[in-house]
Amino acid sequence: MSTINYYSVYKPYIEQFVALKRHLGYKYINIEYPLMQFDQLAYDREETNISISKALCDYWCTRRPNESEKTWYNRILTMRQFSSFLNTLDHVSYLPKLPKIKKSTYKPYIYTKEEIAAIFEATDQLSTFSTCYNSMVLILPALFRVLYGTGLRVGEALALSCRDIHLEEQYIVLRNTKNGTDRMVPLSDSVTYVITEYLNCRKWFPMVRKTDLLFVHPNGDCCYNHRVYAWFRKVLYKAGIPHKGRHYGPHVHDLRHTFSVHSLAKMAEAGSDLYYSLPVLSTYLGHSSIASTDGYVRLTADMYPSIITKVNNICPYLFPEIYEEANDENC
């Protein structure tokens, strides 16, 4: 974790605030950047009063050119939380109002089984015909299969250590995940086979830098999220799956969404009760609450409407809007 230096009168308070958040279990990595920007603003203005005035707050909270609604909202939310923190220390500070932003209409892209097969085939071809001995493309066949077969986040997969891979028992351990916790993830036979084959190939990597990370460049360099995203765009093009542009996808993270929907559909088709299936999937995915998982039910119903009839004993109570819409369409 990189160290960020602060220089304004707020320096000790920002450091206390960030430390408190992390003590409560939040990673608070991305939020450090706007706090650093605020600290720089206060330093440039030569602020000496620890209490945040309305004038300073309003200046900071003004929306910037080309700033997305989400970034703007999160920046003001951070300021509001920091001001609240100062208030608890008797440094009376102005609390900015949170802006009203449009409700997101984002809908994850769920790949079909045929598209998944096309993605794997395109990835295999790129890997087979690569002429660069140190290209990241050499690990992509295993990486993309693991992402789809486990529902891991890209960052979680890239942070996997070899010591946390337990092939005989068929599980992996994820350390310090998004919610600040460790979790154990069981592996299917097919994913276990993929990782086993990959490790056999990894033994022959001409590593200059020794590392315990599972997914690395052949010379031992670590892999970065943005490079995975860039390669995935190329794979989509080669697989004949159109990309709608930035923010619209489909994205590599949609492999996680696809895993979730396909898993729910499989459980429903096997006769499993969603009352029991959802908490299992929620825990497996590392969600902090079942509310983060229940959206997959709508996506599953959209792609596999026949499963509604198998779960309609529980849907009227858990997901009434899905049940009602499904019945309206069947009338």
> What is the C-alpha to C-alpha distance for residues 102 and 70, in angstroms, rounded to an integer?
10
- The DSSP line for 264-276 is HHHHHHTT--HHH
Buried/exposed 214-226: b ≥16 CB within 10 Å, e otherwise: bbbbbeeeebeee
> What are the start-end ranges of the E strands in the chain?
165-166, 171-174, 183-186
> What is the C-alpha to C-alpha distance for residues 133 and 209, in angstroms, rounded to an integer?
15
Contact 17, 85 (CB under 8 A): yes
Q: 268 to each of 84, 248, 297, how far by Cα in Å?
A: 46, 29, 10
Contact 198, 172 (CB under 8 A): no
Q: Where are the domains positioned within the chain? A: 11-88, 113-239, 254-330
Tell the CATH topology of 113-239: hpI Integrase; Chain A (1.10.443)
> What is the C-alpha to C-alpha distance for residues 100 and 254, in angstroms, rounded to an integer?
28
Instruction: From first to last of the 331 residues of the chain, give the pLDDT tens digit.
Output: 457 889 999 999 999 999 888 776 666 667 788 999 999 999 999 999 999 999 999 999 999 998 888 889 989 999 999 999 999 999 999 999 998 877 766 778 889 999 999 999 999 999 887 767 778 889 999 999 999 999 999 999 999 999 999 999 999 999 988 767 788 999 999 999 999 999 999 988 888 778 899 999 988 889 999 999 999 999 999 999 998 877 777 999 999 989 988 888 888 777 776 667 777 887 888 876 666 666 666 666 666 666 555 554 444 433 333 333 333 333 3
